Structure 1
Amino acid sequence: MAIKGAVLGDILGSQYEFNRPKNLDWKNIPLIADGKAKFTDDSVMALAIKKALDESTDLVETMIAVGKRYPFCGYGAKFYWWINGKKHEPYNSWGNGSAMRVAYVGEYYDNYDEMQRMAKVTAAVSHNHPEGIKGSVVTATCIWMAKHDKSKQEIYDYVLSQYPKEEYEYSIAYSLDEIRSRYKWNESCQGSVPAAMRCFYESTDYESFIRNVFSLECDSDTFGAIAGGVAEEFYGGFGSVDAEGIFRKYLDDYLYEILMK
């Protein structure tokens, strides 16, 4: 399930979102360290969208209701006020929040057009900048492609068509070796989605995907949430990673129930 891949990526990536050691031994460190991991706003909003789709409830109302339960889970300032203010209107954001929360859309819809339409809808409630919408659509589409047995090369080619090398600083065309030394923490969709998908592209299983995320000084929980769903669908699970144990340990009962429903 892509939603599990996204939530796991968020939890594992949260360890190095901030205060990442300069010389992190990302190839050999334990995958999870006591006291560092947690769920963030990425999981909260991804699961809010899942709840809305599963229960056929209003999307915005559900995002607000779920979001208000976790006021300190890491929202950006504008999205915090989107949830807690009186008006819940889009604010032209190109931030990666639209991509981090869309995993279940790529999993839920078998119809390609419906999947893309709903990916736009889940973005546009707040992140209605063209890049915010694109980030959501690309993420959901990559998940959909992985679920429907498209090859890694086909997924790469699709992402490249949306983020060409000539126009995007962190296009998927650049290898991780090429961007490691120059990548800077970036909260935009255009600075996050193609690089996160490159982490998937260069992986061989879910764990190596996460370690690729660890290798960059990036918004690592969101990278995990963006491409974690693709990795889970493509590899058909988590391999030796104890995903269920991590979910049970790090999610509260409310979020765990939404995830497992």
Structure 2
Amino acid sequence: MAVKGAVVGDILGAQFEFDRPRNLDWKNVPLTEGAAIGFTDDTVMTLAIKKALKTGADLVETMVDIGRKYPHSGYGGRFYGWINGDNHEPYNSWGNGSAMRGAFVGEFYEDYEEMQKMAEATAAVSHNHPEGIKGAVVTATCIWMARHGKSKQDIYDYVLEQYPKAEYEYSIAYSLDEMRPHYKWNESCQGSVPAAMRCFCESDDYESFIRNVFSLECDSDTFGAIAGGVAEEFYGGFGSVDGEGLLKKYLTPELLEILNM
């Protein structure tokens, strides 16, 4: 399930989002080393969208209702205001929040056009900037492609088409070796989605995907949520990572119930 892959990626990535050691031994560090491990707003919003789409509930109302129950999960400032205020109109954001919450869209819809249309809809309620919408659509589409047996090359080519090297600083065209010396923490879709997908493309299994995320000084929980669903679908599970154990350990009963709907 892509949603499980996204949530586990969020949980594992959270420990190094704001507290990544300068000389982190990302190839060998225990996967649950950090004190800050646990789910973030990425998980909360991913599962809110799942609940809305599974039950036919209003998307915004569900996001607000569930989001308010977890006020300290790490929302960005503007989205925190969107969740907790009275005005739930979109605010032209290109932040990576639209991409990190879209795993269920790629998992749930069989029809390609319907999937892309719903990915756009889940972004546009808040992140209606073209880059915010693109980030959500690309994330859901990569999951959909992995589910439907597309190769890594197919996924890479699609992401490259959306984020060409000539136009994007962190295009998927750049290898991780090329990115590592200059990549800086970036909360935009355009700075997160193609780099996160590169972490997937250079992986051999779910664990190596997570370690690739650890290798960058990045918004690591969101990288894990964005491409974790692709990795889980492509590899058919978590391999050596105890994904199910992490989900049971860190999710609240309410969120675990939504996950297993």
Class of the TM-score when normalised by the shorter of the 2 chains:
over 0.9
- Do the aligned partners of residues 34 and 219 (structure 1) sit closer, same or farther apart at CA in structure 2, a change above 3 Å counting? closer
- Report the alpha carbon displacement of residue 160 of structure 1 after superposing the two structures with TM: 0.1
Deviations 1:115-168 (A, max 9, x none): 000000000000000000000000000000000000000000000000000000
> Which stretch of the first structure deviates more once superposed, 91-100 or 240-249?
240-249
Alignment partner, residue 49 of structure 2: 49
Residue 167 of structure 1 aligns to a residue in which SS?
coil
Letter aligned with residue 65 of structure 1: D
Task: Tell me the TM-score normalized by structure 1.
Answer: 0.99
- Report the alpha carbon displacement of residue 237 of structure 1 after superposing the two structures with TM: 0.4
Alignment partner, residue 99 of structure 1: 99
Cα distance in structure 2, aligned partners of 1:260 and 1:57: 17
In the alignment, is residue 22 of structure 1 matched against residue 11 of structure 2?
Answer: no
In the alignment, is residue 200 of structure 1 matched against residue 195 of structure 2?
Answer: no
- Report the alpha carbon displacement of residue 19 of structure 1 after superposing the two structures with TM: 1.6
Letter aligned with residue 221 of structure 1: D
Alignment partner, residue 213 of structure 1: 213
Residue 16 of structure 1 aligns to a residue in which SS?
coil
- Do the aligned partners of residues 254 and 134 (structure 1) sit closer, same or farther apart at CA in structure 2, a change above 3 Å counting? same
Cα distance in structure 2, aligned partners of 1:239 and 1:197: 19
Cα distance in structure 2, aligned partners of 1:74 and 1:236: 29
Cα distance in structure 1, aligned partners of 2:52 and 2:146: 23
Alignment partner, residue 89 of structure 2: 89
Cα distance in structure 1, aligned partners of 2:223 and 2:132: 15
Alignment partner, residue 36 of structure 1: 36
- Report the alpha carbon displacement of residue 260 of structure 1 after superposing the two structures with TM: 1.4
In the alignment, is residue 255 of structure 1 matched against residue 244 of structure 2?
Answer: no
C-alpha RMSD of matched pairs (Å)? 0.6
- Report the alpha carbon displacement of residue 33 of structure 1 after superposing the two structures with TM: 2.2
Cα distance in structure 1, aligned partners of 2:127 and 2:237: 30
Percent of residue pairs identical = 76
In the alignment, is residue 180 of structure 1 matched against residue 155 of structure 2?
Answer: no
Task: Tell me the TM-score normalized by structure 2.
Answer: 0.99
Cα distance in structure 2, aligned partners of 1:187 and 1:259: 25
Alignment partner, residue 225 of structure 1: 225
Alignment partner, residue 243 of structure 2: 243
In the alignment, is residue 58 of structure 1 matched against residue 69 of structure 2?
Answer: no
Cα distance in structure 2, aligned partners of 1:36 and 1:86: 31
How many residues align? The count is 261
* Aligned residues of 2:94 and 2:127 also touching (Cα < 8 A): yes
Structure 2 spans left out of the alignment, 5+ residues: none
Alignment partner, residue 133 of structure 1: 133
Alignment partner, residue 147 of structure 1: 147
Cα distance in structure 2, aligned partners of 1:33 and 1:211: 12
Aligned positions of 1:71-86 closer than 5 A: 71-86=71-86
Structure 1 spans left out of the alignment, 5+ residues: none
Letter aligned with residue 11 of structure 1: I
Letter aligned with residue 201 of structure 2: Y
- Report the alpha carbon displacement of residue 34 of structure 1 after superposing the two structures with TM: 6.1
Cα distance in structure 2, aligned partners of 1:63 and 1:29: 35
- Report the alpha carbon displacement of residue 240 of structure 1 after superposing the two structures with TM: 1.4
Letter aligned with residue 220 of structure 1: S
